């Protein structure tokens, strides 16, 4: 029997690249997205065997919807071996603008509550089985706050802490929790950025490295490794030095800005 991977945010970017990587490694796919027609068309274009993939429609920020889809996946395909909570959004905000508080709420609902809701249907059953891997997609941006990026940076900082907490809870029962922290990957999420993006990766290169890290059961893995070095340096920088380095850096654009 092929192993089963469950991936949210699978209709584009790194989610789609991860889906293809897992398929090529012989896994069956349970793919979750809002744009299921696009995702199904992509799978057919790639020539994926129909018996090895299913697509489910859900918005991870809708707790009832995403937990129901998890239960449906278990009923139709069985309990996954790996669950990747990949769905996420990145929107700039300005705290001085009232409507941007709703932007922050939306980012948290997707990147944090949506991540926990994605895991929810599987955690208890994986513990009972005493095997399985839960993967949270964080970001190097979660290490320090960046101008205009308060919602995204803080949401990804929370992913690190949440996954660390969950790892401690699940370890005694044989369930692994892996945190993957991408640097800059060439996806629709990053193409509108107005600042330089060092060590920019192609999605397929990221997916190969992420697959290897998940298979190895890494606790936390920065991809590419160079961004791991950057992250360690950023952690160690005194606040005053970090503030000077950011002086003049373009802020993340707000929704609708260019």
Higher pLDDT pick, 227 / 134: 134
In a domain, 256, yes or no: no
Write out the residue range of the structural domain in which residue 83 sits.
4-246
In a domain, 257, yes or no: no
Split at pLDDT 50, 70, 90, the class of 181 is very high
Give me the half-sphere count of Cα atoms (radius 13 Å) on the Cβ side of residue 66: 28
What's 54's domain CATH number? 3.40.50.720
Tens digits of residue pLDDT in 87-122:
999 899 999 999 999 999 999 999 999 999 999 999
Tens digits of residue pLDDT in 205-250:
999 999 999 999 999 999 998 887 887 887 787 878 767 776 666 5
pTM: 0.90
**37 phi, psi to nearest 5 deg:** -65, -45
In a domain, 253, yes or no: no
List residues with catalytic annotation: 152
Split at pLDDT 50, 70, 90, the class of 24 is very high
Domain count, the chain: 1
**pLDDT score, position 241:** 79
Tally Cβ neighbours within 10 Å of residue 151. Answer: 24
In a domain, 127, yes or no: yes
Question: Is the distance from CB of 123 to CB of 167 less than 8 angstroms?
Answer: no
CA distance linking residue 169 with residue 200, whole number of Å: 34
Q: What are the Cα distances from residue 81, in Å, to 27, 126, 198? A: 10, 8, 34
């Amino acid at each position: 029997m092929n192993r089963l991977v469950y991936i949210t945010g699978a209709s584009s970017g790194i989610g789609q690249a991860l889906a293809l990587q897992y398929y090529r490694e012989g896994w069956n796919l349970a793919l979750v997205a809002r744009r299921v027609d696009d995702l199904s068309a992509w799978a057919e274009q790639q020539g994926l065997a129909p018996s090895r993939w299913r697509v489910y429609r859900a918005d991870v920020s809708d707790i009832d919807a995403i937990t129901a889809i998890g239960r449906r996946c278990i009923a139709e395909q069985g309990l996954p071996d790996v669950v990747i909570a990949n769905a996420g959004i990145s929107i700039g905000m300005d705290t001085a603008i009232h409507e941007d508080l709703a932007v922050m709420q939306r980012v948290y609902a997707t990147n944090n509550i949506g991540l926990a809701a994605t895991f929810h249907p599987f955690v208890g059953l994986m513990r009972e089985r005493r095997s399985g891997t839960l993967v949270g997609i964080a970001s190097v941006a979660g290490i320090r706050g960046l101008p205009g990026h308060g919602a995204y940076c803080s949401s990804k900082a929370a992913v690190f802490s949440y996954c660390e907490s969950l790892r401690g809870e699940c370890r005694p029962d044989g369930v692994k929790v892996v945190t993957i922290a991408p640097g800059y990957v060439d996806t629709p999420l990053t193409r509108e950025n107005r600042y330089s993006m060092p060590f920019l990766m192609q999605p397929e290169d990221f997916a190969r490295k992420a697959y290897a890290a998940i298979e190895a059961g890494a606790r936390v893995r920065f991809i590419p490794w160079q961004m791991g070095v950057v992250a360690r340096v950023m952690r160690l920088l005194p606040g005053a030095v970090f503030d000077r380095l950011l002086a003049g850096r373009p802020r993340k654009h707000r929704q609708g800005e260019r």
